[in-house]
Each structure stands twice: as C-alpha cells, then as structure tokens.
Chains A and B, each alone.
Chain A
Amino acid sequence: MLCLDKLPNSEPKETVKLFLRRHWIDLLRIFVFSGAMLLVPVVIGVVLQLGDVQVLHHPLWSVVVMLALASYLLIVHALTLTEITDYWLDVWIVTSERVINTEQQGLFNRLVSEVHLGQIQDITSETKGLLETFLTYGDVYVQTAAEKERFRFKNVDNPDDVKITISQLVKQCKTTHDHDPKLISPGLGTSPTNPDPTAKVSI
C-alpha cells in the first residue's frame, strides 16, 4: 500500500499538503446506479406476481430463475466493487515539492505521474454545472511547459481552494529553490527564474 509518510522518491523535508479524491457525489452515483440495477429483479417479480405467474412453484423454472437471480446479483456486486475500486484508487497528492497524479483507468490500466512544483506554469480550476456549483466541486488543471497533457484533478472538492493552495506552494517552492542553489539539479545550470543557460551556478 502507498504510505503518505513514506512516498516513493520523496525528498528531505517533503511534506504532504493536499490529499485529494474525487467528490463523494461520484460514489453516490455508483450506489444509485447499483440500487437501480438491484430494483430490476424486484420489478420483474412484482410484474410476474401481478400476472399471477407462479414461476417459483415450477420444479425446473424456479431453479432457473433463482440461478439467474443469483448470477445477476453476483454481476451487479462485481461491477459495483470495480467502480468503487476505480473511485478509491483515483488520488491526487500535492506535497511541498511535487504533484502526484494517480488514476485507475478501467480494469487493467493505471496511470501514475508526477511533476515538480517548479515546473508548473499554469493552474486552472473549473466548476461547471448546477450540481457542481451547489456542491462546490469541479476540476483542477495543472499545466507544465512540457508537451504532455496537463494533469487533471477530476471532480475534487473545492477546486478554487485547491488551485490557491497549489499556487502558493509553487510560489514557495520557486522561492526556496532560488535561495538555495544546492537544490538546483546539477547539469541544468539555471534557476527557474533565470533562463540564461550560460549563467554560472555554484553547487
């Protein structure tokens, strides 16, 4: 399991500032959908009962119906568990040094990526829709100078506050790295605020 106190490749004095998951509304959607699927056999049973179809009294078809119901319940259970796992494994961790994006995309697809705070150039929060506005959740986009697509924090709680927090952390990180040349990676020869590749930096 991933331990927040001991993140992989963590730097000295690195602390976790934000630990984000998708908004609880996504979990509610999963349960509502599963509840609706569980209602289907109930509705079918009621319809059969109203039509006076005594299927459960038949020696063969009662077993067929019960096995079909059992299979259906197992499938609904498996699908619900898979969706909850997908929700649970989508996490975004913002530390004092970097942003870690962990997403479970389907059953056999997992994406883990991280970016140093010093590489972040743009942070955008987006709240779109009636439900999102009233429940204050939305997306936060983190863009770097790389060609890679921006990080997307999906349906996180209070995206505006998240954006502000990340902005402050980026500012702090850049300030820290400007004042401590030892923190600049050897070979780059530049600080984030000094793009001149010929500038000499003592390490």
Chain B
Amino acid sequence: MTSFPLWYLLLPFGFIFALTLLFFFFNLFHLNRYAVKSPATSFVIGVYIFTFIGLIGAIGFYLLSVNWHRQIQPSDLIPSFQAQSRI
C-alpha cells in the first residue's frame, strides 16, 4: 500500500460539513420565512448565526494548524499510542 496525503481525511469531513451547512441555511430560511416577527425571533436567529460561526471558527483554527500535505505511511495506520511528536 502506498502512502497518501493527510488531506484525504478532509473529504468525508467536507461532506459532513456541507450537510450541516445545508441544515443551517435551511433552519435560517424557515425562521426568516415563517416565524412570527418579534425581538425574540431576532435573538434566536442571532444565536444561530453566532454559535455556528463560533463552531466553524474553532474548527477552522484547528484545521489551519495541521500540515495536510504530510504523507501518511502504511506504518502510521497501526495505532501505537505512545507519546510522539505532533504534526
């Protein structure tokens, strides 16, 4: 088995992220279209946006810290959870 770049792992994650993004916009659309106009509704929409952006920001902060071009060797697939240097 040949080595593969680490960014391959981003593909399934990207799929899940795309789905949750769809859910987010779907919920936002429904609130904007069907909810009763009130300060409480505006607050709920604000919380939606704030928490989603916060979560995306935290995930993005981690993703930026990883070297995704690193090649993964077959030997790396064997879980040996000893203290090793991080990427």
Contacts and interface: CB of A to CB of B under 8 A. Distances in A.
Partners in one complex: yes
A70 B23 contact: no
Interface SS majority for chain A: helix
Interface of B: 6, 9-10, 12-13, 16-17, 19-20, 23-24, 26-27, 30-38, 41, 44, 48, 51-52, 55, 59, 62, 66, 70, 72, 76-77, 79-87
A78 B70 contact: no
Interface of A: 1-4, 19, 53-64, 66-67, 70-71, 73-75, 77-78, 81-82, 84-85, 88-89, 91, 102, 104, 107, 110
A18 B62 CA distance: 48
A61 B59 contact: no
Contacts, number: 110
23 contacts: A1-B32, A1-B35, A1-B37, A4-B36, A4-B37, A4-B38, A19-B36, A54-B82, A56-B86, A57-B82, A57-B83, A57-B85, A57-B86, A60-B77, A67-B10, A71-B16, A73-B55, A75-B20, A78-B19, A84-B44, A85-B27, A89-B35, A107-B26
B67 to A, nearest CB: 10
Interface SS majority for chain B: helix
Contact of A54 (B41, B55, B83): B83
Given A70-B13, A77-B51, A88-B31, A59 B20 contact: no
A2 B37 contact: yes
Contacts of B6: 60, 63
